Structures are given as C-alpha cells and as structure tokens.
Structure 1
Amino acid sequence: MNSDSDLQIAGDILEVPHLLQAPREHPATVAEYAGLARSIAADRTQWEHLVRYDATTRWYHRLRTGPGYEVWLLSWVPGQGSGLHDHGGSSGVLTVLDGTLTERSRRGTRALRPGAQRVFAPGYVHEVLNDALEPAVSLHVYYPGLTEMTMHFAHSARCAAAAPHSAGADTVTTA
C-alpha cells in the first residue's frame, strides 16, 4: 500500500487526450458568455479603435457574432439613455468598459463602473443611462441575438418592472 494515497492514477492525466474535453469555440453557458465579455473588455485593441461618440443618438456597433449570439459595442455621451425596455426573448450580459452608467430596475438603482457586469434573463426590464459628466462605453452580449426590444412607457422603472406587459409597452423589432 502507498503511504501517500490508496488511489493512484497511472500516468499523467494530461497525456490522455480522450479524457479531456475539447475547448469550445463558442460560449454555451451564462458563465462562458460573461467570460467572453470579460475577455473582450480586457483586450482594448479589439474595441477601443471602433468607438465613436454621437451627441444626437446612442452609437452602437456589432462587434462579433457566433452561433446564436451577438456582441455589441455601445457608447453613451452624458445624458443619453436607453429608455425603459426589455430584450424580448434574449438573455444578455452588459459589461461597462469605460465611464460610469446607471441602471434602473425594480430592484433599484445602481452605478456600474468599468468591469461591472449585469447578467439578465428574457423579460428583464431596465433602463441604462449615462448621468455622469464623462462619456461611457459598454459591451452587450445577447443570446439568442437581439431581434426585439420592448419599450416600456411608464412613469418609473418600478411601475414598469412590476407590469412589464402592460398597455404602456411597445415592441420594437430590431431585425
């Protein structure tokens, strides 16, 4: 008997390729989508040169697509916001790259600084806005790819989040 352990593996497990899972080319879990967003955020060469700021409307650029998902880059000048909305049948990961954004939902209001991530399921109602004095940049991953956004025209995020499919909602198709 071995004094170190009664269980031994013959050889190096890393030398047995059939026991290892092949790395996935594309994300398949929530954690992997969040990891994709973090890896893009960490490599400024992938996105920084693409960013534009537009004082009349929010600027956006589709950065990448994969099987069933999309990655979008958005910029926000002070005062710009998304309006109260959901993402139809899509789940998502929002990651702040630069500046500070504010998210309002029925769960409250929170400041999102660089590196902050928000993961949400279909039907999640929120508003994102830049109420700071400096521009902001964010990255958004949607699965499946974003095909509609329902805008909620209520007096407050708390009202709309409590009744997301009320008469105060309009669906905007994005594809």
Structure 2
Amino acid sequence: MFAVPPNTVLDASERSRAHPALIARDVANNRRHWAHLVRYDREQRWSRLLRRTADHEVWILSWLPEQRTELHDHGGADGAFIVVSGVLTERAVRSDSGHHRAEVLHTLVAGQARVFGPHYAHQVNNEGPDPAISIHVYRPARAVNPTG
C-alpha cells in the first residue's frame, strides 16, 4: 500500500462533478474542435483558452523542444492535464510538513494524464526533439493565462 498525498486527490465535495482528467480526455479526443487553433511560438509556450464555464476552464498549450514552465502551483485550483502529442516531463515537488522536499519525475506520452490538487507544485517541460500539445483543465475557472 502507498500513501497518496492529499494535494493530488479531489476533495469529497468535488467528486459529484466530472473529474478534470475526464474533461481533458474528452476535449483531447475531439480534435476537430481545436486542432485548427494550434500555433507554435519559438519565443514562449503558446496557449489558448478553449472553454470557460462557471465550473472549470479548458486550455490548450503547445510546447516546442526545450520550452518549460517554472516550478509553480495553481493556488487553490485542482485539475489535470493530458498530453495529446509529443512527450512532456513533469517534475512534481512534495513537501513533508515543510521539512523535506521530494521530487518525482513523470514522463508523459500522448494519452497520459496527470491530476493535481490545490497547492500541488510542479514544473512541466518538453525535453524531447519534437513539439508537444497538451490540454489543461482547472477548477475553479481561473482569470489568468496558465503556466502549465
């Protein structure tokens, strides 16, 4: 048996709504609604808001090789992201009561997703030779451009 950090599990009050990973997967599987929107920017990661509801936001991001986020969290938001194409690496950082930091690396290929809870800290990057695309879902909806 293993312990699941509380910041990677949805709060019990949130479980009646569609899980962010399911929303991300459904959007990713519906390429005809977003594929024509994708752009690549050599200067910075490109992103675009696909949908905002009272409950959540859905963003699409493109990643050229070597593009990355800084280590960050999403405040009180929970959510998920799924890789649609390419390969992304997530470095998740966990703190044990603020005394010890543990880093975990996850390599994600097309079809794989990661879920995060409030205050989950991570860094996402494209270390591969090919561009990547990912779909990100945040709950509650945010008012700013996502960092990853």
Aligned mates of 1:95, 1:36 — CA distance in 2:
10
Shift of 1:65: 1.1
Q: Is the strand fraction higher in 1 or 2?
A: 2
Within a 5 Å distance, the mapping from 1:72-91 to structure 2 comes to 72-91=59-78
- How far apart are the structure 2 equivalents of 1:32 and 1:84? 24
Cα deviation 1:4-36 (Å, max 9, x = unaligned): xxxxxxxxxxxxxxxxxxxxxxx9746532222
Please report the TM-score for the alignment, with normalisation by the length of structure 1.
Answer: 0.66
Q: Distance in 2 between matches of 1:90 and 1:45?
A: 28
Paired residues of 2:76 and 2:118 also in contact (CA < 8 A): yes
**Unaligned segments of structure 1, at least 5 residues:** 1-26, 150-172
- Post-superposition shift, 1:68? 2.7
SS in 2 for 1:49: helix
Shift of 1:147: 4.2
Q: Does 1:116 align with 2:103?
A: no
Structure 1 outlier segments of 4+, above 3 Å: 27-32
* SS of corresponding position for 1:89: coil
Question: What is the total number of aligned residue pairs between the two structures?
Answer: 125
Within the candidate set 23, 37, 45, 1:36 is matched to 23
Distance 1:88 1:75, change over 3 A: same
- The Cα RMSD (Å) is 2.3
**Structure of greater relative contact order (alpha carbons < 8 Å, 6+ residues apart):** 2
